[in-house]
Copies of this chain bind each other. A is one copy, B any other.
Amino acid sequence: MRDALKLIYEKQREMHILGGVISLLDWDQKTCMPRKGLEDRSIQISYLSKKLHDLLTSDELYRAVEFLDARKEDLSSIDRIVVERLKRDVEKARKIPSDFVERLSKLEAISYSSWVRARERSRFDLFLPYLSKLIELKMEYCNYKNLGGHPYNNLIDDYEEGMRYERLKPCFDFLKQKLKGLLDKLEGDFDLKIGLDIRDQERMSEIFLRQVSMDRERFRIDTSEHPFTARISTHDVRITTRYLKDKPLSSFFSTLHEVGHAIYELNLPKGRYRYTVISDAPSLGIHESQARFWENIVGRSRSFWKFFYPLVKKRIHGLGVEMEDIYRYVNQVRRSVIRVEADEVSYNLHIILRSEIESEIFEQRIDVRELREVWNEKMEELLGVRPKSDREGVLQDMHWSTGDFGYFPSYTIGNIYSAQLMYAMERDMGSFHALVEDGRFGDIKRWLFRKIHRFGRMFDAEELIRRGCGEGLNPERFIRYLEEKFV
């Protein structure tokens, strides 16, 4: 038993090392790498990814895990948690044949570039053959995984372990109806001229980073085309943002979003859990909830701007706008065809559109060749607007081109959880808005650590939320949050 334990900890440690190195290769590709390094970079990443997959699916690890699982009662509670979670990961990964993994990842690589080209020319037909093939392979994938119930479950589970479409569907239907009503009521338009050049935008992000006490010896911020967070190792987490001249607050909200991810990553379980499968998020939805919490629940609240505006005003001259103007500007509700530009009210309608389409694709109720029309009609139905081109419509997101079907629901799950966290925080610490207005971000971070971060993957996502907030996924909380804020 000692040997088996030693082996599983050693293998998990190796997986952690490789995972961190792959993160660095990816981070570097997006922030630093000279353009012509791309070909070799793909080779480096896929080589190490293959090694990582081989480790997870090796017979040696499988045998050790099965051996330990059969002797669970003799394990310490920590070892038991690790063994149970690892067993699930190993078993799931071993269901998928390695030659299939290779075929799929090759297809994803070429599909991504075909999507880039198709999007540039706004021509869905150029992407269609790759998309059809991807869907075909993903259906094969669902057959291997074979979780039962709706076929879409097999895909959702990759990002939101334990979540099922049967549970999600009524939540999304409820949201759809409520959000359409809110959108009709709140729609408006408000333009604002904000005097922030790129240097000022950087300064504004810096002020925020200081307020949330990001430790520069464990964290850094850079720029990249699309903002993201990378964990390179336990004490090395990095975010990126982008500074746009014509969207002066976009970089700031990106920073808030990514900082939410980064605080989470920096607070994951350490000690004996440090190099295990436990030191990770239980789902993408939980991860997203942390980002949305700082970006929206905190960052788009009036109380935040009451606190933050004077700090900005003092350091950035020529801002030329009042606190209340900023608040209105960052909270305007609008019908837009583009997901990433959507406000808090309409955003989840974009997600519901994608989730419904994906679920129908994998029920084989949609002919992919008609996807453009399906998309446009659903957009009209849900948001009351119609894309003028493929670029603004069915080609707007890269997710499908990289094989990420089943990913979108996590965004909405994250939004719902973020509102639940706010109410639970209020239950434990009194008025949330008083906390924010006083800039007591340390208290907020500590609460998130105690209730969410320190557990890593010890529980499934919904169980974690149930323990922290007293209830599982509850879309009513999110609607209540929007109503209290906007109505």
* Contact yes or no, B233 A41, CB < 8 A: yes
Residues of B within 8 A of A35 (CB): 217
Among A1-46, those with CB < 8 Å from B are: 14, 17, 20-21, 24-25, 28, 32-37, 39-41, 43-44
A53 to chain B, nearest CB (A): 16
Residues of B within 8 A of A245 (CB): none
Residues of B within 8 A of A220 (CB): 32, 34
Taking a contact as CB atoms closer than 8 A, the residue among B14, B20, B41, B236 that contacts A236 in the complex is B41
A238 to chain B, nearest CB (A): 8
A470 to chain B, nearest CB (A): 36
Given known contacts A40-B20, A43-B17, A34 and B218 CB-to-CB distance under 8 angstroms: yes
A22 to chain B, nearest CB (A): 9
User: Nearest CB to that of A36 among chain B residues?
Assistant: B235
User: Nearest CB to that of A24 among chain B residues?
Assistant: B28
Q: Is A186's CB within 8 Å of the partner chain B?
A: no
Q: Is A47's CB within 8 Å of the partner chain B?
A: yes
* Contact yes or no, B233 A40, CB < 8 A: yes
Q: Is A234's CB within 8 Å of the partner chain B?
A: yes
Among A72-97, those with CB < 8 Å from B are: none
Q: Is A385's CB within 8 Å of the partner chain B?
A: no
Given known contacts A21-B25, A24-B25, A235-B39, A217 and B44 CB-to-CB distance under 8 angstroms: no
Among A204-263, those with CB < 8 Å from B are: 215-220, 232-236, 238
Q: Is A48's CB within 8 Å of the partner chain B?
A: yes
Residues of B within 8 A of A234 (CB): 40
Residues of B within 8 A of A14 (CB): 47
Residues of B within 8 A of A24 (CB): 24-25, 28
Residues of B within 8 A of A32 (CB): 32, 220
15 contacts between A and B (CB under 8 A): A21-B25, A21-B48, A24-B24, A32-B32, A32-B220, A34-B216, A34-B218, A34-B220, A34-B235, A34-B236, A35-B217, A36-B218, A37-B232, A37-B236, A40-B235
The list of the 8 closest CB pairs from A to B, nearest first, reads A37-B236, A40-B233, A36-B235, A35-B217, A36-B217, A36-B218, A17-B47, A34-B218
